[in-house]
Amino acid sequence: MNATLTNIYVDEHYLYIHLSVEEATRPCGLLWIQRKTKREDTFPLAEQDGEFVAKIPMSSVDDLLEVDRTIDLYVKEEDQTVRIRSEEPFLQKKYGWISETLIVPFTTKKGNVSIKRTDITVFAQFTHIQPVGNGSIHLHGIFVVPKPKLDPTCVRKADEPIQNPDSVHIRLKRSKTGDIVWTARPMIEKDGDVYRFQIVIDPTRDMGQLDIGRYTFLLQIQYPESLKTYKNPDSILESGSLKMVYGHPSFRLCKKTKNNHEKRKLSIYLSKKNRYVTLKLEEVSFRIFVRRQWIRFRNLSFTKKMYKFVFQLVGLFPANKKLIMFESFLGKQYSCNPRAIYEYIKTHYPSYQLYWSVDKRYIGNFEGKELKIAKRFSVKWLFLMATAKYWISNSRLPLWIPKPKHTIYLQTWHGTPLKRLAMDMEEVHMPGTNTEKYKKNFYKESRNWDYLISPNAYSSEIFRRAFRFEKEMIESGYPRNDFLYKGNHEQTIKDLKTRFQIPLDRKVILYAPTWRDDQFYSRGKYKFELQLDLNRMREELGKEYIILLRLHYLVAENLDLSGYEGFVYDFSNHEDIRELYVISDLLITDYSSVFFDYANLKRPMIFFVYDIEDYRDRLRGFYFDFEKKAPGPLVKTTEEVIGEIRKLEQNGSALPPNFDEFYERFCAWEDGEASKRVAEKILGGSAPQRSKVLMR
């Protein structure tokens, strides 16, 4: 059965959905499936003029889109359900109003029809892109600007929002930083209910001063003064990164350009995952050509075998007893326990040579910090790793790296476990592996660890079993938490907020969700859908609070926060989460181990656990009764999150009755001296006497 959307529109009381269904098929009904909660609702279809029509009361639409703001549409038959498709490339022009928000139909990248609820914004896409004979590139597109409902009780047509063509701009955003680097005024014309636009790019004139890198396009409009609403008080609307209309084939358009006699290549193409129209500038030189050929050679199986052989050979050389190699989260960050230990050793053991293992894609995180670095898997890295006396890491190293006999490997790990780890996991849902293979490889890796840091007695017991670790456990508390005791001062908090350029007069919410094991497209390509409704949070809390987002390092690069400037700040790639803890008044998390660390500050926490049944029963499982023992309320919706924040305002941010018991179980070893204990254990010296509560 095939079902095609032929029309969709909204009047004062109903949402109408018209479908064309193949002959000899009579559908049972229209099926709505909420994307997050998976709730299903069925509506009747009436036959009308050779089509099938669903007439859905707006009150029902309002209720269904209140909790889950995205709904996928299906046709239901007796023995199957079929996704509804559309041949209309720009469905967003069929928007309608629901209360003070928009209901907007759209097509997914596969051509399926969905509906979402959103605040007022501008919808824009490119329709086609073509080069012209003079070397320039013409980009054509389409956009629609919802006419605001100035009076909630009235559905009259508002004034035309585009009253001046100069109020429309196309902007170029650097993908890595989000900075706006180029702005142009397009030519626009009205075409029925939509606007058509065109911009012309001269690669040499317009792109000559841009840095090497990737960029995406945005469309921005300025409302006339008369059309301001509380939803857009600054009269500025900006689209997300522009995509190509559905149905347009993939393409890659390349032009050569120059910048101060430097040859460059400009490419415009569709990104594979999201179909963003992406502009890429790259250097063209013999050096770049040689580098690419080297990368191809390096990735050959033979080359990898030779690299491993040389590593083993160099590992036979005498160890450099004063050389320590540090790595945090696969070389992506200067952070966590390795950073805390590094800072202590640098100050108290100045004779040691300290190097950081760095993923070259994240080298910017290490610049300007006076760090000695070695790019992962480079020749320099090989010789340093193979001759170093100590390795200090908070995550697993590649399994193929042969650990020399002279090397002492300190595994710091990166959190108190709530979720089941390694050998304790019943099923593994991770890219490129399965349960048996994952456990086998983890066991091989843990055989290389000489020391393992534990933050509390609870973790010691789990680590020994889950990692099958039989060597020495350093029961010191976590070095990274030393800062929570030594840096938790009013002046430090003020200085950090000033450095981060966040408001001093608003409270800070830190949202740090965990990464789900099954959130991946393929090996090395991870996905993440933010479940917290930022629109609703901004509407209710925007005048009093800001949100700092800290996502898992595996998915942080996929986040797009366009439109939330001034309310949501992305600190996912910030190297030191300890600083975020200290400046935050409230933590919102789920199953991430961050709440064990944050508890050291004795500040309130809210647990946003919208998928707790699935996570608990299928993905990982918990080590203790999280639903009873969590040091804060468990909620499943954004509305409940807001409600708990209001309760905290009323009771003076009082901690729950079970907090003291939680603190004693998980934080009792912390006293600001863990880094010292660890350093003196592995490098020599007498560790300080721990207080009785820390003794085992």
What HEC string does 570-607 produce?
ECCCCCCHHHHHHHCCEEEECCCCHHHHHHHHCCCEEE
Supply the pLDDT for residue 229. Answer: 52
| Residue 108 and residue 136 in one domain | no
Residue-range definition of the domain harbouring residue 82: 3-117
- The Cα 108–Cα 94 span in angstroms is 15
CA distances from residue 325 to 21, 188, 476 in whole angstroms, order as listed: 64, 57, 21
Reported in sequence order, the residue ranges of 157-249 that DSSP labels E, i.e. its strands, are: 168-174, 180-184, 187-191, 194-201, 213-222, 236-238, 243-244
Supply the pLDDT for residue 522. Answer: 36
- The Cα 609–Cα 590 span in angstroms is 5
Instruction: Quote the mean pLDDT of the chain.
Output: 84
| Residue 345 and residue 441 in one domain | yes
- The Cα 337–Cα 321 span in angstroms is 22
| Residue 129 and residue 30 in one domain | no
Residue 560 has pLDDT above 80, yes or no: no
What 3-state DSSP class applies to 447? Answer: coil
Residue with tokens 């990274």: 480
| Residue 160 and residue 237 in one domain | yes
The CATH number linked to 562 is 3.40.50.12580
| Residue 173 and residue 309 in one domain | no
| Residue 165 and residue 262 in one domain | yes
pLDDT confidence band for 617 (50 / 70 / 90): low
CA–chain centroid gap for 654, Å, is 31
Q: Which residue would you say has higher pLDDT here, 308 or 229?
A: 308
Residue 684 lies in a domain: no
Residue 696 has pLDDT above 50, yes or no: no
Residue 625's Cβ-count burial label (10 Å; 0-12, 13-18, 19+) is exposed
621-625: average pLDDT: 79
| Residue 445 and residue 504 in one domain | no
The CATH number linked to 43 is 2.60.40
CA distances from residue 548 to 119, 431, 538, 551 in whole angstroms, order as listed: 21, 28, 13, 10
Supply the pLDDT for residue 536. Answer: 92
The pTM of the full predicted model, rounded to 2 decimals, is 0.59
363: tokens are 């080298």
| Residue 566 and residue 501 in one domain | yes
Reported in sequence order, the residue ranges of 443-570 that DSSP labels E, i.e. its strands, are: 451-454, 472-475, 507-512, 520-522, 525-526, 545-549, 568-570
Residue 695 lies in a domain: no
Question: 53-79: per-residue pLDDT in tens?
Answer: 999 999 888 888 887 789 999 998 877
33-37, 173-177, 273-277, 520-524: lowest mean pLDDT where?
520-524
User: Which amino acid belongs to residue 249?
Assistant: P
Please state whether beta strands 634-635 and 605-608 pair in parallel, antiparallel, or not at all (unpaired): parallel
* Number of structural domains found in the chain: 4
